[in-house]
Structure 1
Amino acid sequence: MTARTRLRHRERHAAQRAGWLRAAVLGSNDGLVSTSSLVVGVAASGASGGAILTAGVAGLTAGALSMAVGEYVSVSAQADVERADRALEQAELAATPAAEFAELTGIYERRGLPRDLAEQVARAFTERDALAAHMRDELGHNEINQARPLQACAASAASFTVGALVPFVGLAAPAGWPRIVGVVGVTVLGLAVAGALAARTAGTALARPTLRVVLGGCAAMAVTALVGLLAGTASG
């Protein structure tokens, strides 16, 4: 295969973007839904424009920080598991190399290779880098799905902030129900764009992911508006 042929055959799979894409989709969706729901709920209670704006800013700040910390902690836990698996596998290779070789051979046999070929493949990988072979083929660890806490933290916080800023555009509408309708309108548009971008980045069809995001956000805003309306009525 020539260098030109290899260049033409380069593939770009969506799995390579899975780590940061998951955090970014979750962050932007959460920023849109939580901030808009908070703003709509406070507005439905009859609060002043200043109180609505303050609630929105507080929600944006707290949400972005919460998403950043939450992603960092959860993905760091995954990284800890990966390190523990690596240490355990390294110890097993040192203590029982023959058993580990037989285990690797069995993995390739179950994938469809004849016994002799499976042993040849296992021997070749073992001689080259036994630990890497077991991490990849026994445990499923590789560079594509490796835990990256800082990447997930940054992607989640940044996307949450971007998503949370969208509902503030609707606050430019007149006070009362026009303001609520404005917030809902820009949020629905933002959710549709976020869903479509996520689907396009993931390489999937647009309709289903976009509809899923929009319907979920609308349900959250509806429930929060009802709660805010009831709270405002009760306190008034």
Structure 2
Amino acid sequence: MKTKIRILHVDDSVHDRILVLDALEKEHGEYEVVSADNRNKFEKLLSECEFDLVLSDFNILGFDGLQVLEVVKSKKPDLPVIIVTGTGSEEIAIQAMKMGAADYVIKSVKHIQSLSPTIKSVLEHKLLVKNHNEALELLKENEQLFKTLAEEAPVGIFKTDSFGNTTYVNPRWCEIAGLNFQEANGKGWINAIYPDDKNMLTEEWQKALYNNSPSVIEYRF
């Protein structure tokens, strides 16, 4: 069974809450909407329950959408907020987006029909950002693991970019080459190569780059 998208809807107008529900009910039960018509109820629900998204009207009695946004960002910064605003209030909506709102929808019978696609787009973007951040974190962990293993390796290890610029050398490589990292950095590592092997190594390297192919070369220090 598909999990419903849980939405916390903050709006003190019964008419506007019905307008939103009517727009979302066309999606055949994809959404579970929990309403809050005042600040206390909103903050209680936000603290005690889990939601995928907050949908907030801009004009709420004694409260406004920007304040809703501030509360969400302080308590659950990863929870996206969509602002629903009246026609002619686009400047307010843009201000809300500058403060961190994920998007906005104009509150009219015509424009409210875009609410569901907007919600799905916002949640898809959130998932992409989450996956991207997780991939970056995994990359950092792998790089740290490589560095830890390389530092203790009994063989010389060095890394270069695709242009042949050194980005890393381990301690054993420095011992073999007689260069420290600062001296090996960039193209400096070539200075450790035996003079008669430099041209051959450079030519083979350029050939591998041109053909985008692996390169196995024996050379002397």
Shared topology, TM-score over 0.5?
no
Structure with the bigger percentage of strand: 2
State the structure with more CA Rg. 2
**TM-score, normalised with respect to structure 2:** 0.24
